[in-house]
């Protein structure tokens, strides 16, 4: 997918970790083994923020962090996935649905959920998961949930701006009920999903997030969920003040589909792209053999500047533009090749479950 082959900067190397153990998912270059987190990634460039950051009124706290914690912590879950993996989550509704990360539950066949620090360990069933957004839904018996335990309220991530309050609650290193605070550091980041595709629109925060926080809620100053904590960037396997959360607007889009039990299908172009430092657009680096673009006139080196009238300034824009469509749609690409502009039509396919590297 676009953006996966960016030029590296040797002075800007981070280790990006998924924050909870994901049994059987080891995709790092360096295999550092931790108690709560065995999933690591290396990125050569910190995710960038896209132009056009949405502006809104700053989030204002309705109470102190202590008040927000007292109200929301009972609905935050400690999740045990199989015999080794653990992470966090939160109660979504009165039907016993708990949202977490896909990489928290990946590879496990049995699950338990404990809501709050005083809750009982309850058996849970995996309802659905989506590796492309790193989201999953577990279900517990709602009759066994205390009547005083309330689902967390969902906000919107569209109106956030850098500097807004951010509060993380979860189970870093297995320490359930841990709260950390900070701000939204940046918007519209792009991180790598467990299946190697890209997750766009990601929130960056300096609220301390460590292994075990994965799947837990990132809250605003009113105690509403604005994101699901998913990854950290660090060179030491500990929080460096650079954490990433899947935005709650993505949760609102994906979770209902998981609850319906349907297969989530996404449009797929079948190219990887990179930036041209001297011009806007997404430069085709490689075309996937057998993919939709392989049967078109698109070639490596083409610079895509427009998709169906939507301007493409960087590779991330190409990913977003493709995902606005459905599999089977025909899109019109405006490309520049050898100084000449041309139009190429491509019939989009269905994204595979995992991006094949190489």
Residues 256-286 have pLDDT tens digits of 999 998 678 899 999 999 999 999 999 999 9
**Confidence class of residue 37 from pLDDT cuts 50, 70 and 90?**
very low
Q: Which residues contact 189 (CB under 8 A, 6 or more apart)?
A: 47, 48, 49, 201, 202, 203, 204, 244
Predicted local distance difference test score (pLDDT) of residue 46: 44
Reading the block at residue 243, the tokens are: 């954490």
Q: No. of H helices and E strands in the chain?
A: 4, 22
In angstroms, the CA 101 to CA 103 distance is 5
Torsion on CA atoms 103, 44, 270, 275, rounded to nearest 10 = 140
Q: Is 134 a catalytic residue?
A: yes
Q: Is 325 a catalytic residue?
A: no
Which of the following is catalytic: 134, 249, 302, 317? 134
What is the mean predicted confidence (pLDDT) over 142-169? 95
Q: Which residues contact 82 (CB under 8 A, 6 or more apart)?
A: 23, 107, 108, 109, 110, 111
What is the mean predicted confidence (pLDDT) over 166-185? 94
Give me the chain's average pLDDT, please. Answer: 83
Q: Which of 44, 27, 318 is nearest to 200 (CA)?
A: 318
The domains located in the chain, with CATH, are: 1-263 (2.40.10.120), 267-350 (2.30.42.10)
What DSSP assignment string belongs to 204-266?
EE-S---TT-TTPEEE-TTS-EEEEEEEEEESSSS--S-EEEEEHHHHHHHHHHHHTT-----
In angstroms, the CA 274 to CA 239 distance is 29
Local structure of 172: helix, strand or coil: helix
Flag whether pLDDT at 211 surpasses 80: yes
Q: Which residues contact 296 (CB under 8 A, 6 or more apart)?
A: 344, 345, 346
Predicted local distance difference test score (pLDDT) of residue 316: 85
pTM exceeds 0.85, yes or no: no
What percent of the chain is predicted at pLDDT more than 90? 68
Question: Taking the mean position of all CA atoms in its chain, how far away is CA 176?
Answer: 22
Q: Is 97 a catalytic residue?
A: no
Q: Residue 154 has what DSSP assignment?
A: B
Local structure of 286: helix, strand or coil: strand
Which of the following is catalytic: 37, 86, 103, 164? 103
Flag whether pLDDT at 227 surpasses 90: yes
Dihedral of CA 286/289/290/296: which sign?
positive
Flag whether pLDDT at 148 surpasses 60: yes
pLDDT tens digits along 16-27: 444 443 333 322
Flag whether pLDDT at 358 surpasses 50: no
Predicted local distance difference test score (pLDDT) of residue 84: 78
Tokens 């405006």 belong to which residue?
334
**Confidence class of residue 195 from pLDDT cuts 50, 70 and 90?**
very high
Predicted local distance difference test score (pLDDT) of residue 165: 96
Which of the following is catalytic: 214, 273, 319, 320? 214
Predicted local distance difference test score (pLDDT) of residue 240: 76
Predicted local distance difference test score (pLDDT) of residue 320: 87
pLDDT tens digits along 80-109: 999 878 999 999 999 999 999 999 999 999
- Residue 97 in contact with residue 89, Cβ under 8 Å? no
């Amino acid at each position: 997918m676009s953006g996966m082959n960016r030029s590296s900067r040797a002075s800007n190397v981070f280790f990006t970790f998924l924050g909870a153990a994901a049994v059987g998912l080891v995709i790092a270059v360096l295999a550092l083994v931790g108690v709560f987190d065995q999933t690591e990634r290396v990125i050569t460039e910190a995710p960038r923020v896209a132009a056009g950051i949405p502006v809104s009124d700053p989030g204002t706290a309705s109470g102190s962090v202590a008040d927000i914690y007292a109200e929301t912590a009972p609905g935050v879950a400690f999740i045990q996935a199989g015999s080794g993996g653990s992470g966090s989550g939160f109660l979504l509704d009165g039907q016993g649905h708990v949202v977490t990360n896909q990489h928290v539950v990946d590879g496990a066949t049995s699950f338990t959920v404990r809501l709050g620090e005083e809750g009982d360990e309850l058996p849970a069933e995996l309802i659905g998961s989506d590796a492309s957004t790193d989201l999953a839904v577990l279900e517990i018996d709602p009759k066994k949930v205390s009547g005083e335990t309330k689902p967390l309220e969902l906000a919107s991530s569209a109106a956030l701006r850098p500097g807004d309050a951010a509060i993380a609650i979860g189970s870093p290193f297995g320490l359930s009920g841990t709260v950390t605070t900070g701000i939204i550091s940046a918007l519209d980041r792009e991180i790598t999903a467990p299946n190697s595709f890209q997750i766009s629109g990601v929130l960056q925060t300096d609220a301390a997030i460590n292994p075990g926080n994965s799947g837990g809620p990132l809250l605003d100053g009113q105690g509403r969920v604005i994101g699901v904590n998913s990854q950290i960037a660090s060179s030491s396997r500990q929080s460096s003040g650079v954490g990433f959360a899947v935005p709650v607007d993505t949760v609102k889009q994906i979770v209902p589909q998981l609850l319906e039990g349907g297969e989530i299908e996404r449009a797929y172009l079948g190219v990887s792209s990179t930036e041209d430092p001297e011009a806007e657009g997404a430069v085709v680096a490689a075309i996937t053999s057998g993919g939709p673009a392989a049967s078109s006139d698109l070639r490596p080196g083409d610079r895509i500047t427009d998709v169906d009238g939507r301007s493409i300034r960087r590779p991330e824009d190409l990913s977003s533009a493709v995902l606005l469509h459905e599999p089977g749609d025909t899109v019109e690409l405006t490309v520049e090749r050898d100084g000449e502009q041309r139009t190429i039509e491509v019939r989009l396919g269905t994204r595979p479950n995992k991006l094949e590297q190489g």
